[in-house]
Amino acid sequence: MTHELGRLEDLPADYVQDLRDLNLVPLWPSLRGVLPPKIPTRQTQPTHWPYKTLKPLLLKAGELTPIEKAERRVLVLANPGHGLEKMQASAAMYLGMQLLMPGEWAPSHRHTPNAVRMIVEGEGAYTTVDGEKCPMSRGDLILTPTGLWHEHGHDGTDPVIWLDVLDLPLVYYMEASYHVNGDRQEVHVGRGDKQYAHGGLVPTQVFERSHKAYPMLRYPWTEAKAALQTLGLDNPSLEQVQVTYTNPETGTDAENILGFYALMLRPGQSLRLPARSPAQVFHVIEGEVQADILGSHFHLVEADTCCAPGYEAVTLKNLKTDQASFVFIADESPLHRKLGVYENRG
C-alpha cells in the first residue's frame, strides 16, 4: 500500500515556526528525500578528467606557486554533482593530481584522513612514510595511512606527478579532519615492499610482532603487473583479471576505508562490472580504455581518470586489440562492508 506523504506547506505557518524556534523539524515532508524508494539518491556524476588537459595547468601551477606557499601543489578532481567547492569525487573519495618539481621538498605532516598515491609519471621522487623512504615510479601505489608522518622529496631532473586518493570527504563529514605539521623525518633502514615482495611469504616474528598496522607501504607496479599477467596466463577463461592491494600480514584491504585494485583487460576485451553500492574511480596506468557509465562514454588514454556513482553497472572496453590495458581502481567497498550496506546487484 502506498500513500502520498504530507507536505511542509500543508502545515500552519505558525506551527512550523514554533518547531523551528525549538530546533525541531517534521520528518514526514522530507522522508522520501532521505529514504527514497529502491535506490539511493546519488550526487556523484560520471565524470572524466583527461590528463592531457590537466597536466599543462598543473605545470603552470608549478610556475605560479612555489612549494613553500603551496605545501602540497594539487589540482583537485572535483565532481560537479557534489559542487566544485566541496572538492570531492564521490561521497567518500577525494582525488587530486599533485606535482613535485626537481629539488623540491613537501614538508612533513600527518592527518586523520587516509591517503594513497598512484604515481602517474616521472622518476627521482620519493615519499617518506613513518620513517620509511618509498621511491616513486609510474604505477606504484604508496600508502600514507591515517596518523602517519609523511613528506615528499625529489632528487631527479623532471617533474613528478601522482594521483592522490583520500577518504577526506567522509572524515570531514564526521568532523574528524585535521592535520599536524612536523619536522623532517629521520629515515630508518628497511622497506616493507622488499620484505613482503613474495606471495605467501612474510617475515617470521621470532621475538615479537612489529605491531605495525600497515607493514607494507609501497606496492611496486612491476610486481602488480607481473601478478596480473600471470593470473591471466594461468586462467585463460577468467573474465575479470584483477588483484586487490592488501595488508600482507592480515589479508585485509590495504587501508580501512577505501579499496584499491589493479585490473588487466585483455586485447579487445569488453568487461561489464556489476552494479554495486560503492562508487568507483578508474585510472588508466597503461593502454586505452572506453568506460561506459550511465549513458556517458569516456575515451580514456594513459593517465586519464574517471569516476562512476554506486548502484550502476560499468562497462570497460580495451581499445587496444594487440595488447593488454591496465587500470587502477579505487572504491568505497571496505567502508560499505563495515557499515553493513554493501550490495552487489549484478
Model confidence band, residue 1 (pLDDT cutoffs 50, 70, 90): very low
Q: Are 260 and 254 in contact (CB under 8 A)?
A: yes
Q: Are 267 and 258 in contact (CB under 8 A)?
A: no
**pLDDT given at position 257:** 98
Instruction: Assess whether pLDDT exceeds 80 at residue 256.
Output: yes
The pLDDT tens digits for 261-307 are 999 999 999 999 999 999 999 999 999 999 999 999 999 999 999 99
The pLDDT tens digits for 202-251 are 888 755 556 789 999 999 999 999 999 999 999 999 999 999 999 999 99
- Sorted by sequence, the CB contacts under 8 Å of residue 182 that are 6+ apart come out as 107, 108, 109, 110, 149
Give the count of beta carbons closer than 10 Å to the beta carbon of residue 53: 9
The pLDDT tens digits for 3-59 are 788 999 999 999 999 999 999 999 999 999 999 999 999 999 999 999 999 999 999
The pLDDT tens digits for 56-79 are 999 999 999 999 999 999 999 999
Integer Cα distance of 249 and 109 in angstroms: 26
For 133-188, the DSSP string reads: EEE--TT-EEEE-TT--EEEEE-SSS-EEEEEEE-HHHHHHTT---EEE-PPPPP-
Integer Cα distance of 336 and 82 in angstroms: 20
The domains of the chain, with CATH numbers, are: 47-339 (2.60.120.10)
- Sorted by sequence, the CB contacts under 8 Å of residue 255 that are 6+ apart come out as 114, 116, 143, 145, 167, 214, 334
Integer Cα distance of 94 and 86 in angstroms: 10
Q: Are 167 and 94 in contact (CB under 8 A)?
A: yes
**pLDDT given at position 298:** 98
**pLDDT given at position 208:** 57
The pLDDT tens digits for 142-181 are 999 999 999 999 999 999 999 999 999 999 999 999 999 9
3-state secondary structure of 309: coil
185 burial type by CB count under 10 A (0-12 exposed, 13-18 middle, 19+ buried)? middle
